[in-house]
Amino acid sequence: MDSYKYLKIRLNPDGSLYRYREVWLLPAAPAEELVAVEDEQGARRIVVHSSDVPLNAATCMGLRLFVSSGSGGHDGGRLPLVVYFHVGGYVLFHAASAPFHNTCAALAAAALAIVASVDYRLAPEHCLPAAFEDAADAVIRGSDTHVMRGRGRRQLWIGGTEGRD
């Protein structure tokens, strides 16, 4: 099997790579996106706002932030921040890929949290440990952004999806 063809990547004669456009990239929804949630309050729809935020200009790495319109946060305080890492073997997908965009929007709505989905650099264009460095950078810089500043403490959660065979 040709791994380049399988990964939808073409090796150019000059040694550079061309990544065919990924399927199902969704735009950010700064105005609003209605997300269905079912919890102890029953079935309802919550508005979630999302936007793309540059985090490191040197590496062109950023975050897609999802903020729920739900009020108060946990114990009436500030909304917690979830730093979310998507699956893809460090080769496939982005924060804007439909499955992860939808998952993060649903997580922000259900957990009443701010979700920061990390759009790390992908291999083979960027060799490992680039993605790991971006992940660490997201936690360090993300915890120092305006999202985390202000009065009172904000909980920081780290999570994501995991691929299994």
Could you tell me if residue 60 is inside a domain? Answer: yes
C-alpha 148/C-alpha 77 separation (Å) is: 13
Q: What is the pLDDT of residue 74?
A: 53
Could you tell me if residue 44 is inside a domain? Answer: yes
Q: For all residues of the chain together, what is the average pLDDT?
A: 80
Burial of residue 119, with CB atoms counted within 10 A of its CB: 0-12 exposed, 13-18 middle, 19 or more buried: buried
Could you tell me if residue 5 is inside a domain? Answer: no
Which of 43-47, 115-119, 142-146 is predicted least confidently?
A: 142-146
- What is the mean predicted confidence (pLDDT) over 88-102? 85
pLDDT band at 165 (very low <50, low <70, confident <90, very high): very low
Could you tell me if residue 126 is inside a domain? Answer: yes
pLDDT band at 71 (very low <50, low <70, confident <90, very high): low
pTM here is 0.79
In this predicted model, what pLDDT tens digit does every residue of 143-153 receive, in sequence order? 665 555 555 56
Q: Provide the domain count of the chain.
A: 1
Asked if residue 138 lies in contact with residue 116, where contact means CB atoms within 8 angstroms, the answer is: yes
Which of 38-42, 91-95, 109-113, 155-159 is predicted least confidently?
A: 38-42
Structural domain range at position 90: 24-160
Burial of residue 41, with CB atoms counted within 10 A of its CB: 0-12 exposed, 13-18 middle, 19 or more buried: exposed
Could you tell me if residue 19 is inside a domain? Answer: no
Could you tell me if residue 6 is inside a domain? Answer: no
In this predicted model, what pLDDT tens digit does every residue of 119-157 receive, in sequence order? 988 887 888 898 889 988 888 876 665 555 555 567 888
Residues 6+ apart with CB under 8 A from 109: 35, 37, 46, 48, 68, 70
Could you tell me if residue 2 is inside a domain? Answer: no
DSSP single-letter state for residue 25:
B
Q: What is the CATH number of the domain that holds 64?
A: 3.40.50.1820
Could you tell me if residue 11 is inside a domain? Answer: no
Residues 6+ apart with CB under 8 A from 53: 62, 63, 64, 65, 145
